[in-house]
């Protein structure tokens, strides 16, 4: 019997012995936002998109290009028209002397510096900048979505641990009750007033209760391990979570959450921003039909052909136009138009889906409120029952077993009330997440 009591005590205290670091719900949320690795990746994507905006803006600036070449000519041989190559006129050779055409050199230089300023492409470039800025907004919305998901995940795991702790209290109360019953049966056996079968049955019940304690402890360990992952805490560290206030939180009318979600829900915003980006793609595809016009200017240097100027400056226009592309540009524009239709359909689907989820979460709030009311009544009555039996036991009218039965029932009622209260808080948290409220 003593071994059974010791075993139950060790199981019930295992969690409190292991956990050392105290962590509140708000601290857990803050730590998760700071150290969650997936969230840091999403934030880095925002910076990447911002760099793409900077890159897109540089395309409307002039491009300065430079090139050069040096060649060492190992064999030099001048090129000339020999005397008399054109015959004789009146006994005179034409030409009378060799005429040099090309003087070969060992060191040959070619170099050029040029600039190109796009003109007709400026409109398309501006559209590209707007599209890149749309990517930044999309990345920022994805960060917001990730933050809300992290916060919701922290709350679910945090509340899961707290509920499991209450379940552990109930399970330990049942263990104590079964132990008391087993003690009475063993006493009755010694007095020859009962049968051995009752003892075996209670021992089986006690084993089942102890098994439930172990299951709850295992579940708490799993919750804590998952919470450590979200918080970025090493698995070797221990956590002890503080209780949260179970006082009723204010809940807004359903339409308030629905209206807020149309503006702030991350999924709805992403759908709207996707339409905006696709529209920029349509505009860019249409501008692609225009000819490309740009200004050219530059400087060339050469010493290869001495009869040509060594220095040359130029200024002009560069025009290119794909007159006919067998429907390629039209096909690209149609692709963008199809993408817009898809995005608009997805936006409508997302709005309907979010509205349905908000309505479901709101029903959970209402259902939790009803459960809290009933559970509170049960706790009040069970506490009165425990008080009355305590007085009766002190007066010698009730046994310890009778009081333990009421305490076990009270622990069950308190666990039900606590679970309903946390379910209420979790439902409101889910409502805020769906509405995009931090």
User: How far does Cα 396 stand from its chain's mean position?
Assistant: 63
CA distance 18 to 9: 14
| 8 A C-beta contact, residue 417 and residue 143 | no
For 333-383, write each residue's pLDDT tens digit: 999 999 999 999 999 999 999 999 999 999 999 999 999 999 999 999 999
Question: Count of alpha carbons within 13 Å of 420, Cβ hemisphere only?
Answer: 20
How confident is the model over 207-251, as pLDDT tens digits? 999 999 999 999 999 999 999 888 888 888 888 888 887 776 788
pLDDT of res. 74? 67
Q: For residue 56, what pLDDT is reported?
A: 93
What pLDDT score does 113 carry? 95
Nearest to 320 by CA among 296, 295, 293: 293
Domain boundaries, the chain: 2-72+102-435
Mind giving me the DSSP string for 202-246?
HHHHHHHHHHHHHHHHHHHHHHHHHHHHHHT--TTS-EEEPP---
Q: Could you give the CA distance from residue 394 to residue 391 in angstroms, rounded to a whole number? A: 5
Q: What is the pTM of this model?
A: 0.77
pLDDT at 12: 44
The DSSP annotation for 32-92 comes to: HHHH-HHHHHHHHHHHHHHHHHHHHHGGGSPEEEEEEEEEE-SS---EEEPTTTT-EETTE
CATH (residue range 2-72+102-435): 1.20.1600.10
Q: Quickly tell me which residue has 């622990």 as its tokens.
A: 411
Residues of the chain with pLDDT under 70: 1-21, 74-80, 99-104, 248, 307
Neighbouring C-beta atoms of residue 378, cutoff 10 Å? 16
User: Which sign does the torsion angle of CA 200, 203, 205, 208 carry?
Assistant: negative
């Amino acid at each position: 019997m003593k071994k059974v009591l010791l075993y139950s005590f060790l199981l019930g205290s295992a969690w409190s012995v292991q956990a050392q670091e105290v962590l509140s719900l708000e601290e857990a949320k803050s730590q998760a936002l700071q150290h969650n690795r997936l969230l840091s990746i999403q934030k880095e994507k925002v910076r990447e998109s911002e760099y793409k905006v900077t890159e897109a803006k540089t395309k409307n600036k002039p491009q300065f290009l430079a090139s050069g070449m040096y060649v060492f000519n190992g064999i030099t041989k001048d090129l000339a028209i020999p005397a008399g190559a054109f015959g004789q006129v009146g006994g005179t050779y034409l030409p009378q002397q060799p005429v040099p055409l090309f003087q070969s050199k060992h060191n040959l230089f070619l170099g050029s510096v040029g600039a190109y300023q796009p003109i007709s492409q400026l409109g398309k470039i501006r559209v590209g900048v707007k599209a890149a800025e749309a990517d930044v907004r999309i990345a920022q919305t994805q960060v917001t979505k990730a933050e809300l998901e992290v916060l919701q995940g922290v709350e679910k795991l945090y509340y899961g641990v707290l509920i499991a702790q209450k379940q552990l209290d109930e399970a330990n109360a049942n263990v104590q009750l079964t132990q008391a019953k087993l003690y009475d049966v063993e006493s009755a056996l010694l007095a020859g007033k009962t049968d051995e079968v009752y003892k075996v049955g209670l021992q089986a019940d006690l084993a089942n209760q102890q098994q439930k304690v172990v299951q709850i402890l295992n579940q708490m360990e799993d919750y804590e391990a998952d919470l450590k992952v979200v918080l970025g805490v090493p698995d070797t560290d221990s956590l002890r979570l503080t209780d949260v206030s179970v006082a009723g939180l204010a809940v807004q009318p359903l339409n308030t959450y629905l209206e807020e979600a149309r503006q702030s829900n991350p999924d709805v915003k992403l759908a709207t921003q996707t339409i905006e980006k696709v529209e920029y793609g349509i505009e860019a595809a249409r501008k692609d039909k225009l000819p490309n016009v740009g200004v050219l200017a530059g400087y060339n240097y050469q010493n290869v052909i001495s009869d040509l100027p060594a220095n040359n400056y130029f200024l002009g226009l560069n025009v290119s136009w794909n007159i006919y592309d067998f429907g390629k540009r039209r096909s690209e524009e149609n692709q963008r138009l199809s993408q817009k239709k898809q995005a608009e359909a997805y936006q409508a689907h997302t709005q309907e889906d979010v509205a349905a989820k908000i309505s479901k979460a709101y029903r959970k709030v209402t259902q939790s409120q009803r459960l809290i009311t009933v559970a509170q009544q049960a706790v009040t009555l069970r506490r009165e029952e425990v008080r009355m039996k305590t007085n009766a036991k002190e007066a010698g009218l009730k046994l310890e077993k009778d009081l333990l039965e009421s305490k076990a029932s009270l622990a069950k009622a308190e666990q039900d009330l606590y679970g309903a209260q946390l379910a209420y808080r979790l439902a409101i948290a889910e409502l805020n997440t769906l509405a995009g409220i931090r």
